[in-house]
Amino acid sequence: MQFPQALETVLEALERMRDQNAQHPSASRATLARLKETKPAEAVASNVPQTPFREPIEANRPCLEPRKIDVSQHQNATKSDQLSAINERVCACVKCPNLASSRTQTVFGIGNPEADLMFVGEAPGADEDAQGEPFVGRAGQLLTKIIKAMGFAREDVYIANILKCRPDTPGSAYGNRPPTPREMETCRPYLMEQIETIQPKVIVALGAVAVEGLLGTRAPMRELRGQWNEFNGTPLMITYHPAYLLRNQAPKEKRKVWEDMMQVLERLEKPISEKQRNYFL
Ligand code: SF4
């Protein structure tokens, strides 16, 4: 591990502890051993202007459908072209060095560039990092089920995350961690561009991290969900992240999400059948 990466790792850990109001720093033996391995020479070298972290970045898999498009030269560029151009910049992004060096690939977003409905989650997990597509793990399968119950195909809507890279989990062989506020702030402009390009009629924020990333609001989900908000003039519905429903299988929690989705269907002026009204996820 090079010095800037080690430093970034320590800073992120301290930020997380601050966010969690932790009193005492702690680190695993493995982390301490890795930090001790960092040579002072690397720290000195890091002060010299250069292009750090190139090796792991170049080792990344190519992004999905990379295409050379300069949309500034094409006034009639389609939304798909515009999204591809944003994706190219995301693929090359190393603004969060620790995430750029640990990711398998960036996870841009997927779906219909002309979608009326857009879902926004928090960040890729291990499955998404491996496959380059958002919401493909167990939570993603539940989201797809919700989308189908609403009368859409997964390809009809657009799905993206606040973060385009999987949050790294130094010292952990598995598991996910939520993005830090700084990571969200750094990556947010890409999502803004996606939303501005797609111009959905309704956005659904999935979970508290998505709400914080989009609206800058921090509050318990039980207070936030089911409420209409606005994101730059676009109606935004807040509901639970599908991962929450996997952890909490209580029918009344699932029903809450479905009621939120019925509000979305009404906002989109989609007819709701009796079967849908009585549906439980
Ligand atoms: S999380 Fe976003 S801003 Fe950070 S490196 Fe990945 S693409 Fe870039």
Per-residue pLDDT, averaged over 10-20, amounts to 53
Per-residue pLDDT tens over the stretch 214-244: 999 999 999 999 999 999 999 999 999 999 9
| pLDDT beyond 60 at 51 | no
24 vs 14: CA distance, rounded Å: 10
DSSP states of the chain: --HHHHHHHHHHHHHHHHHTT-SS----HHHHHHHHH--HHHHHHHTS---TTHHHHHTSPPPSS-----GGG-TT--HHHHHHHHHHHHHT--SSHHHHHH-SS----EE-TT-SEEEEES---HHHHHHTSSS-SHHHHHHHHHHHHTT--GGGSEEEES-SSPPP-TT-SS---PPPHHHHHHHHHHHHHHHHHH--SEEEEESHHHHHHHH-----HHHHTT-EEEETTEEEEEE--HHHHHH---HHHHHHHHHHHHHHHHHTT----HHHHT---
Nearest 10 degrees: Cα torsion 138, 140, 142, 145: -140
Q: What residue owns the CA closest to ligand 1's atom 8?
A: 93
| 261 ligand 1 Cβ < 6 A | no
Per-residue pLDDT tens over the stretch 86-122: 999 999 999 999 999 999 999 999 999 999 999 999 9
| 60 ligand 1 Cβ < 6 A | no
| 93 ligand 1 Cβ < 6 A | yes
Please report where in the chains the tokens 């800073």 appear, as a residue.
Answer: 11
126 vs 207: CA distance, rounded Å: 18
pLDDT for res 171: 73
Q: What residue owns the CA closest to ligand 1's atom 4?
A: 96
pLDDT for res 46: 43
| 164 ligand 1 Cβ < 6 A | yes
Calculate how far, in angstroms, residue 278's C-alpha sits from the geometric centre of ligand 1: 41
pTM of the model: 0.76
